[in-house]
Amino acid sequence: MLRTLKLVLLLGVAACASPLAAQPAAAPSIAPAPANEDARLAAFFQKSFLEGVRQSPESLTFLGMKERYGELGDYTEAGERQALALSEAQLVQMNQMFDRSKLSEASKLSYDLFGRAVAVQRVLTRWRWQAYAVTSTGGALDRIPVMLINAHRVDSVADAEAYVARLRAVERVSREVSADIEARTARKFLPPAFVFGRVIPDAQNQLKGAPFDTGPDHPVWVDLKKKVAALKTDPATKARLLADGEAALKGEWRRGFEGYLAALAAMSKAATSVNGVWALPEGDAYYADMVAFYTTTALTPDQIHSTGLSEVARVRQEMETIKRRVGFTGSLEAFFQHVKTDPRFHYTNDEAGKAQYLADARTIIGDYLKVADKQFLSLPKLPLEVRAVEPFREKTAAVAFYSQPAPDGSRPGIFYVNLSDMTQVLKPQLRVIAYHEGAPGHHFQISRSLEQADLPMFRRQAYQGAYTEGWGLYAEKLGKEAGFYTDPYDDFGRLSLEIWRAARLVLDTGIHAKKWSRDQALDYMRRNVLNSERDIQSEVDRYFTTPGQATSYKVGELKILELRQKAQTALGPKFDLRAFHETVLEAGALPLDVLETRIDAYIGGRR
């Protein structure tokens, strides 16, 4: 699963980049432009990418670069406009400097994708008011602790001082974020009312524990102490760094989150309704653009809704087959309840249960990696870890998600799972989740992209929703083709995630185009998915506040399956699954129309 649009916008012309992207620690120098047009264009892309990300210190840190290391970015509307202006200027410059007809086919594709990335950024900036400042997964300020803990490396005293400087900068960021929330409140660009029951408690967690009170250490305080303790420096310097960090947490950090909480409280009083974005000014046009952004297609909400209904019906029939196979005689809905309530399908709701879940996930991924070369020509070199979501963000975190690695391996790819309540976790769903988020899903696709040194950075970091999430959903089936899911309940778990993604097509369009209520959406989910009640509520809330994103999974998967069938039909015995996967992955994330053109060329070449 991918993260919010705010950081996407901050990446300038890399507007399609993931906010958890990663990059080598040092920015490569740019030599004088060579005569060769392709090399000149590559140098231009590198320069433009660095200009864009340098506008966001947080993005630089996620990229593994220590520039602006003690700073936090500009969270104002003016900052977003500045990022767009830079991208527009770079696009003009590219068109002036290069003759597309003189480029190789590979460079022509990068040239075109650069222009499309700016067009996407233009659209997202147009809708900045309609895009909620606070969603069911949090707001801008909530991402800072995650960045500090997971991305801010402390290899020197200067790095620790930069960490403390960022703690101090939270107060200024809070003023900007709070002012934006207040402006939206005044203009009535309000999120659904339920958002605040998730976001406010997580924000309050940022002021709990030592050094704020006598409770266990706050996670950021734990992190800073651990990183300072590992430094090779004298005890007096370490004591000074920790004293400065404690003062910053109890001072600027506390005041920042207190101001943020006040702004959230004021907005929560004004936000009394629960509607899709159709209720916002120009809501229908906004939703159409978000569907186009996430699916990279011209599909209408009505078309997507219809496809969702058809896919739900198809998967239900496959589920009925497994239900009969295991000898269950009740309805499919009754079988859902059987699986959700039978103790053999649950882990114990304690630390031992959590540890066993993580161990099982690692085993599943390890077993797949042993046979992965039967389905792939190239395997990712970057490491993958399985971790539980940190307690301080469990309320707003998704069920499971992937955080991508640094290309140099200094930060691994991370498959995160939300284990806050083990009664809500089902064993039959673990295998399919591990394939989607880890291997051969997001880790294979994203790591492969990051490792492609011949691609411009804006393409290695590109975010194309339907491609990325479509690949994750497609990868779930690869586990079955590799010989896993031998237990019928595991296979039922696989189908339970597929029908969940099919239901998303119905729900997202139902909420935002057909004016479904939250109760309608919850009822549809309960009747058609195996998810726990907690996950059903969390997912529906996410669909309300991130319009269009939930459509990307099934739309992307269906296109990849369509292209695979097209290649198999055209090539017959010449079809090679490993070569097909290589063609899909080696050019990085792509819009679906570009992917289709690429597969057509692959078919022509194999013929």
Is residue 16 very low, low, confident or very high in pLDDT (cuts 50, 70, 90)? very low
Is residue 22 very low, low, confident or very high in pLDDT (cuts 50, 70, 90)? very low
**Exposure of 505 by Cβ count < 10 A (0-12 exposed, 13-18 middle, 19+ buried)?**
buried
pLDDT in tens, 142-183: 999 999 999 999 999 999 999 999 999 999 999 999 999 999
Q: Is the peptide bond before 412 cis (omega within 30 degrees of 0)?
A: no
> What whole-number percentage of the chain has pLDDT above 90?
90
Average pLDDT score over residue span 33-55: 89
Whether pLDDT at 4 is above 80: no
pLDDT in tens, 263-307: 999 999 999 999 999 999 999 999 999 999 999 999 999 999 999
Q: If you write DSSP's letter for every residue of 210-247 in order, what string do you get? A: BTTSSSSBPHHHHHHHHHHHTSSS-HHHHHHHHHHHHH
| pLDDT at 24 (0 to 100) | 32
| pLDDT at 34 (0 to 100) | 45
Measure the CA–CA gap between 278 and 264, rounded to whole angstroms: 23
pLDDT in tens, 363-396: 999 999 999 999 999 999 999 999 999 888 887 7
Measure the CA–CA gap between 20 and 414, rounded to whole angstroms: 11
| pLDDT at 394 (0 to 100) | 83
pLDDT in tens, 105-144: 999 999 999 999 999 999 999 999 999 999 998 999 999 9
| Amino acid at residue number 534 | R
Lowest mean pLDDT among 47-51, 60-64, 438-442, 543-547: 60-64
Residue with tokens 């899709």: 276
Average pLDDT score over residue span 528-533: 93
Whether pLDDT at 29 is above 80: no
| pLDDT at 359 (0 to 100) | 98
**Exposure of 163 by Cβ count < 10 A (0-12 exposed, 13-18 middle, 19+ buried)?**
buried
Measure the CA–CA gap between 264 and 550, rounded to whole angstroms: 26
CB neighbours of residue 134 within 10 Å: 30
* Contact by Cβ (8 Å): 287, 513: yes
Measure the CA–CA gap between 154 and 588, rounded to whole angstroms: 31
Nearest to 580 by CA among 596, 599, 566: 599
Q: What is the pTM of this model?
A: 0.91
* Residue 595: its H or E element: helix 592-606
Measure the CA–CA gap between 185 and 201, rounded to whole angstroms: 20
Is residue 1 very low, low, confident or very high in pLDDT (cuts 50, 70, 90)? very low
Phi, psi of 400, deg, nearest 5: -160, 150
Whether pLDDT at 8 is above 70: no
CB neighbours of residue 327 within 10 Å: 6
Q: At what angle do helices 427-437 and 465-481 cross, to 10 degrees?
A: 120
DSSP state of 298: -
Residue with tokens 């801008």: 140
Average pLDDT of the residues of the chain: 93
pLDDT in tens, 316-370: 999 999 999 999 999 999 999 999 999 999 999 999 999 999 999 999 999 999 9
Average pLDDT score over residue span 45-53: 96
Is residue 21 very low, low, confident or very high in pLDDT (cuts 50, 70, 90)? very low
Whether pLDDT at 25 is above 50: no
Mapped onto helix, strand or coil, the DSSP state of residue 383 is coil
pLDDT in tens, 209-266: 999 999 999 999 999 999 999 999 999 999 999 999 999 999 999 999 999 999 999 9
Is residue 406 very low, low, confident or very high in pLDDT (cuts 50, 70, 90)? confident
Average pLDDT score over residue span 514-535: 95
Nearest to 436 by CA among 378, 365, 381, 382: 365
Whether pLDDT at 28 is above 60: no
Strands 134-135 vs 138-139: parallel, antiparallel or unpaired: antiparallel
Whether pLDDT at 27 is above 90: no
Is residue 30 very low, low, confident or very high in pLDDT (cuts 50, 70, 90)? very low
Nearest to 87 by CA among 339, 444, 458: 458
Q: If you write DSSP's letter for every residue of 417-469 in order, what string do you get? A: E--S-GGG--HHHHHHHHHHHTTTTHHHHHHHHHT-TTS-HHHHTB--HHHHH
